[in-house]
Chain A
Amino acid sequence: SYVLTQPPSVSVAPGKTARITCGGNNIGSKSVHWYQQKPGQAPVLVIYYDSDRPSGIPERFSGSNSGNTATLTISRVEAGDEADYYCQVWDSSSDLWVFGGGTKLTVL
């Protein structure tokens, strides 16, 4: 089955740029979606189709996807961005949805 690999944690200072990676075999050929989950809350979609932002999501959030790695980039990080972030794809060969293990973003 298809596997998505994320670093367990990423730390960044306020105002800096955070990059959260999501690795998978030839992930560049798939559409990658990202969710933000704050403590005690349901997940929220922040990026879909690799780099599109839903309405209401700040432009500071962006995404890219190529080769074996997709990346969620958060620019000018704020304290309120501290959360768990999950990548997700649909594996067409198995018709299964797959989530990455999640990355905890800590704002120093």
Chain B
Amino acid sequence: EVQLVQSGAEVKKPGESLKISCKGSGYSFTSYWIGWVRQMPGKGLEWMGIIYPGDSDTRYSPSFQGQVTISADKSISTAYLQWSSLKASDTAMYYCAIRLRPYYFDYWGQGTLVTVSS
């Protein structure tokens, strides 16, 4: 069974750094793209970017390029989304999702809520 399990909720202050995770299981982690999607409070889904863990090939939405870093550690079947300096506007639910076939997300993680507040 394909599963994506994300790290727990985070509460951070503006300017702090953060790295959230998404652990895949039940499939070949290095063979399929994993994407990240943001959902701000009460708003819709926004595609942030996607990574191929096999060779770390990464694509970003222009809206998020330079704002976040997507990475993966294939030795532990885990993808990451990180910020070097959080802003209040980064407050949102973040989902990881797996692309088994082009170009849609078959399975989603449960989401990680990030709250940035002074």
Query: What is A's interface to B at a CB cutoff of 8 Å?
Result: 1, 31, 33, 35, 37, 42-45, 48-49, 54, 84, 86, 88-90, 95-102
Known contacts A86-B44, A101-B44; is-contact A95 B104 (Cβ 8 Å): no
> In the complex, are the beta carbons of A42 and B95 less than 8 A apart?
yes
**CA distance in complex: A105, B46 (Å):** 20
**CA distance in complex: A42, B61 (Å):** 21
Known contacts A33-B104, A44-B108; is-contact A86 B59 (Cβ 8 Å): no
Q: Is B106 an interface residue (CB 8 A)?
A: yes
> Using Cβ atoms and an 8 Å threshold, which residues of chain A touch B103?
31, 33, 89-90, 97
**CA distance in complex: A108, B37 (Å):** 30
Give the tally of cross-chain contacts (CB within 8 A).
60
User: Which residue from chain B places its CB closest to the CB of A34 in the assembled complex?
Assistant: B104
> In the complex, are the beta carbons of A42 and B104 less than 8 A apart?
no
> Using Cβ atoms and an 8 Å threshold, which residues of chain A touch B27?
none
**CA distance in complex: A89, B103 (Å):** 7
